[in-house]
Chain A
């Protein structure tokens, strides 16, 4: 399976590279309308395809298959388009520029700006340490840095696209607002607690540097190429998660009885369902692409929105591997506090939503 996947993505990359040299713009102009045409006809195509198969209509298998055949291409197509556009937007918000914008900011406004910039600045958890150090070195307050570090992985284009595709724009917007709020407040609290002493010694003793940056003047064509590169990179990386996630979701759709989740994760479930969802979520290391289809399926089986959102946020925002990486620059106490504050915010979001909705 992995071999096959690697083979396919290698072919895809090779194809992409050969296109890059040629008339990229022309190709994109043609691709746009074609994309729209296919996207608008996906439901019809999925229905037709499932009807052609020798399966009893409306059976468990037919329901599962239809979900899979319709949602997989839909999510992948939306993801491709949005990741490409965000790849272009990202070229305006390099980490260097974001750092310059945040350097010397005060708490409050700084936390807000950091959370917002976290959405549009490209971020990969493998770069978390250099980024963290670079921010602190250039005089970005610790709490503001944390706001960025919480928002960047949690509120990103992949998560939002999947929420939009599977659960609609209201849930996507809600997730964005809640994620940003948690990032702002958690960062602000951590800033108030003056945790600078719990940085690892070598980080604390580093020389300060200025946050000046040279604006990289890119042409529009270069930004377009960056968008295409981001699309190939990110879609290539998450495609397998999307397919796996939708497959699990499809299974839940077809085979798990309606309202099976109501007692376990529903609004009437006991008080511990939200903390339990968070505890289950933390050790899980999946990205948004894999988790949203499962979330959608759980919701359709009677789980409450607050509990499910809390689960999703804890899977994405609090991951053990990232904490292991951050351990190189933060003392254990600060990491524990970081996890506790973010988990507290997620807990609050879960409870409030279950109470309000």
Chain B
């Protein structure tokens, strides 16, 4: 099962990013783990400079904005 983490300190785009991953996963019938990381220390530990960022199985795959839908679909493919 793919483990997603959305990094961000609670801004609107972070919530939208979470919702999009959830939605695409549901559409494709893929089971995923989805977790929100709000602690600054943890966010910084991943080395991202701008949020929201997405971590997939421990690797930062996106940072600085809501990801494109196509991108989310690629992660779930």
Contacts and interface: CB of A to CB of B under 8 A. Distances in A.
Contact of B69 (A17, A96, A134, A328): A17
Interface in B16-47: 40-41, 43-44, 47
A137 B47 CA distance: 9
A122 to B, nearest CB: 7
A301 interface: no
A131 B43 CA distance: 11
A233 B22 CA distance: 20
Contact of A202 (B9, B41, B47, B51): B41
Contact of B48 (A17, A130, A206, A328): A130
Interface centre among A95, A129, A130, A202 (most CB of B within 10 A): A130
A131 B47 CA distance: 9
A124 interface: yes
B50 A124 contact: yes
Interface residues of B, number: 19
B66 interface: yes
Instruction: Report the contact-size class of chain A (Cβ under 8 Å from the partner).
Output: 20 to 34
A133 B51 contact: no
Interface string A107-122: 0000000000000001
8 contacts: A17-B69, A96-B63, A126-B8, A127-B50, A130-B48, A134-B44, A137-B44, A206-B44
Interface of A: 17, 94-96, 99, 122-124, 126-127, 129-131, 133-135, 137, 202, 206, 209, 225, 229, 233, 325, 328-329
Interface of B: 8-9, 11, 13, 40-41, 43-44, 47-51, 63-66, 68-69
